[in-house]
Amino acid sequence: MPGSSLWLLPPPSHPLFPLLSTLISSTLPLNFPLLTSSPLLPKHFFTPHMTLTSDISPQTYSSDPQEWLDSIPFPFAKEIKVRFTRIKSQDFFYRRCFIGVEYEGIDSVVAKAREYGVEGVGEQEKVREWLGWWREAFGGHVSLIYGDEQITDEVMRKIERVVIDAGVKLPDIDDDKGQWDGWQGGRVQLVKTDGPIKDWKVIAEREL
């Protein structure tokens, strides 16, 4: 991904953080080795997150990324609600398999990230136009698998079962045994994502 990105993560104490981390780094690779990176290749493992925006130029945060991140007037934590929809797949490496996220509840934090990170402070019209495109193109999502292999409907159902059994709650599933359907608030990380996955680096972090 060019430039840097702003990620929204579950709060440190939320059960979803270790749960999703284990799914991404261990459970899914072991159950679906042809879809995921080998456990011997940790470069394709990543922190569980929802991307708020990417394409942030280093010039934007200059020499003090933490000060820049702290200056963004994000909504209060109670106003940010990440709510899962269903597991989906798109023909794109970084969205090969992901949990969809409802637009309502994240729109304000995504808009603020885009305004301060890419479009420019006060560029509300540009932000609205981008939000319309973003929502239609892929919207909020929490990736589970990066990869190039196509995922069949049958395999998707199996992935869904593994994720539910791990503790993630998904809507409209009759035998849903999951406990967690998302989170409120969370942490925002500024991550350098302009190189190989193994070189991605958190350069600033803030709890909402």
Q: Cα separation of 15 and 70, whole Å?
A: 26
What is the DSSP secondary structure assignment for residue 169, as one 8-state letter? -
Mean pLDDT of 44-49: 85
What's the pLDDT score for residue 157?
A: 94
User: Is a pLDDT exceeding 70 seen at residue 38?
Assistant: no
Side chain identity at residue 161, one-letter code: R
Q: Which CATH class is domain 4-207?
A: alpha beta
What is the DSSP secondary structure assignment for residue 123, as one 8-state letter? -
pLDDT band of residue 129 (cuts 50, 70, 90) is very high
Nearest by Cα to 81 from 8, 3, 190, 160: 8
Question: Which of 101-110, 124-133, 167-176 has the least mean pLDDT?
Answer: 167-176
Mean pLDDT of 171-193: 89
pLDDT band of residue 39 (cuts 50, 70, 90) is very low
| Residues forming the active site | 49, 141
Render 47-73 in DSSP notation, one character per residue: ---EEEEEEE-HHHHTT-HHHHHHHS-
Question: Which of 90-94, 100-104, 139-143 has the least mean pLDDT?
Answer: 90-94
3-state secondary structure of 195: coil
pLDDT band of residue 40 (cuts 50, 70, 90) is very low
Terminal-residue alpha carbon distance, the chain: 25
What's the pLDDT score for residue 36?
A: 63
User: Is a pLDDT exceeding 50 seen at residue 68?
Assistant: yes
Instruction: Report pLDDT digits (tens) over 112-127.
Output: 999 999 999 999 999 9
Mean pLDDT of 38-47: 59
Mean pLDDT of 141-167: 93
Write down the pTM of the prediction: 0.92
Instruction: Report pLDDT digits (tens) over 23-33.
Output: 998 899 889 88
